[in-house]
Amino acid sequence: MILFKRKVNYEKILVGYWLLVPILFGVYFFIMNLKNNNTMEQTLKTDNPLLAMGMLVSFLLVIQGMSFILLDRQVENSNQAKRYFLTFSIFQQLLMFNIIGSALSFLAYRQLPEKNQTKLHVKPWLLGIITFIVLLSIIIAVIQIRQLIL
């Protein structure tokens, strides 16, 4: 019974998801190379769009996880900054068809305390990271939609 009374910290689960999925993809990629008796270079040179998509999504998830950790440590009003970042993440994860990531972002967003009315001064590095994530997400979404059509 005590196990169910403890409050679940969805932020930690979300960051763990964002950092664990790329590691699992890397392990899958390594095992696939061993099974096919290929080098990583040979596998990357093949025309496999799913492999490229997996690499891009893994790269993007690592960037999101690390920026969320940096956001918590370097921004003064971190709860409000987290609200903005998680709102962005919900839609970005849906754009990439990542339902689990979107659901975890939503649960982490709901767990944050109520919104403060103080002004948030967004750091330039955070805007740069968000812009990079948006651009890469749009590219990934276009590739995924194109693969569905073909």
Which pTM was predicted?
Answer: 0.80
In whole angstroms, what is the distance from residue 114 CA to residue 85 CA?
15
pLDDT for 116: 64
In whole angstroms, what is the distance from residue 117 CA to residue 109 CA?
17
What is the number of domains present in the chain? 1
pLDDT for 137: 86
Amino acid identity of residue 53, one-letter, is M
85-92, Cβ contacts within 8 angstroms, sequence gap of 24 or more: 85/126, 85/130, 86/112, 88/130, 88/133, 89/64, 92/133, 92/134, 92/137
Residues with Cβ within 8 Å of 102's Cβ and at least 6 positions away in sequence, in order, are: 89, 90, 91, 93, 94
Residues with Cβ within 8 Å of 51's Cβ and at least 6 positions away in sequence, in order, are: 29, 43, 44
Distances in Å between the alpha carbon of 106 and those of 46, 61, 86, 138, 144? 37, 16, 7, 20, 23
Put residue 6 in one of left, alpha, beta given phi > 0 → left and psi -120 to 50 → alpha. beta
Instruction: Please list the alpha-helical segments (H only) found in 96-123.
Output: 99-111
Which residue range is the domain that position 12 belongs to?
2-149
pLDDT for 103: 95
pLDDT for 113: 84
pLDDT tens string for the chain (150 positions)? 566 667 888 999 999 999 999 999 999 988 988 898 888 777 777 767 778 788 888 989 999 999 999 888 877 777 888 888 999 999 999 988 889 999 999 999 999 887 766 666 667 777 888 888 888 888 888 887 887 787
